Amino acid sequence: PQVALAHAERAARLRELHAPGDPLQRLRSADQLAYAHYRLGDFERAEVLWREVLAGATLADAPFDVLTNAHQALAGMYNNLSRPQEALAVLEAADVLMRGRVDPQSPERVNFMRGRRGALVQLGRADEAEALARLAIDIQSRTVGERNARMAFLLNALGLALNEQARFREAQQAFEQSLAASDSLAEVPAERGPLILNLAAVAESAGDYARALQQFDAGIALLETSEPQMDSLRLRQARRSRARTLGLLGRGEEALETLTSLEQQALALDGEEAFEPAMLAWQRAVLARHRGRPEDGFAALEVAEARMRPLLPADHAIYAYMARVRGHLLALQGDLAAAAESL
């Protein structure tokens, strides 16, 4: 990524040298620089640069490829940062941009569908996400074929939507098909790692915790060979999921140590207003329930809910899960009437 940034900066200087002040060339430079900063984990700078590109949509003869790429990339970054509402807003703007210029059944639409699916899953609308993933798979299959990297990503997206609906066997099939859909993808650790992590997640959901832990370890090992930083958000999220599985395997002390360390790291790197600290507090609450420690659970749950409320809509499914965990914690304290009301 550092080399890529250096190349992008050199390209920007050359454009400015040969086309000084040209706003269209500056859009191209901003798009390339944004992606380089994103890969380095400098999300704030990437957001500023991509927003500059989006603002260029009003320019006459603005390069359509640059505009669509920036919309897609910025929405993807928002999804990765657990900012789904902002992702959807960017994708809506992309839809307006493409209207009348890109056929709704064109494969050029597929990655935008994938981005929308990711946002919908985070917002608790997994059924809509599934329908969108299946539409994108149909378009990709008819126009490009069934064995390619994009198809692998789409099948992975379908698996995530199915997993959110507790359709674990179907999700596992989709993830396995995803891994088999592209030979070239198998050679790219940065892409294969997340696919294996998704298989781990569905194995955990299905109750096969030992297998889930093995797959989490394999996926994390692949990411560690490809991520530019050992404290990247993607790696930290994978380690959080692994810690959750440790708790389910009865290795509570190890899980709590990992979650606590990750939460301190997230607060330092992301800030308290970010989604990751909220998720880590939530996982501490769930772990406390598994370990039969209601006092710890209530404290973590209070923190998690306070952090979640500004980030997710009031009808998000996570608040129902929180009510259920609160009920279990109340039952552990012997307050069965309050537990029944919460459950």
CA 215 to CA 220: how far, in whole Å?
8
Contacts 24+ apart (CB under 8 A), 71-75: 71/97, 71/112, 72/111, 72/112, 72/115, 73/31, 73/34, 73/35, 73/38, 74/34, 74/46, 74/47, 74/50, 75/112, 75/115, 75/119
Distance of CA 287 to the CA centre of its chain: 22
What's the token pair of residue 3? 């080399």
Exposed e or buried b for every residue in 262-300, given b needs 16+ CB within 10 A? bbebbeebbeeebbbbbbbbbbbbbbbbbbebbebbbeb
Share of the chain above pLDDT 90, in %: 73
Cα angle vertex 313, ends 278, 117, to 5°? 90
Assess whether pLDDT exceeds 90 at residue 339: no
CA distance 138 to 120: 19
Q: Which pLDDT value is given to residue 336? A: 87
Answer whether 0.85 is exceeded by the pTM: no
pLDDT of residue 228: 65
Nearest to 270 by CA among 221, 318, 236: 236
Q: For 248-263, what is each residue's pLDDT tens digit?
A: 999 999 999 999 999 9
Q: What is the pLDDT of residue 24?
A: 95
Both structure tokens of 244: 């959750």
pLDDT of 39-69, one tens digit each?
A: 888 999 999 999 999 999 999 899 999 999 9
Q: Quote the CA–CA distance of 246 and 256 in Å, as a whole number.
A: 9
Answer for the pair 67, 54: CB distance below 8 angstroms, yes or no.
Answer: yes
Please identify which residue in the block is written with the tokens 């279990």. Answer: 328
Query: How many percent of the chain have pLDDT more than 70?
Result: 98
**Each residue of 116-145: pLDDT tens digit?**
999 999 998 999 999 999 999 999 999 999
Which 8-state DSSP code applies to residue 46?
H
pLDDT in tens, 191-239: 788 888 989 999 998 899 999 999 999 999 988 887 767 788 889 999 9
Would the pLDDT of 97 be above 80?
yes
- The 10 Å Cβ neighbour count of residue 132 is 23
Answer for the pair 281, 303: CB distance below 8 angstroms, yes or no. Answer: yes
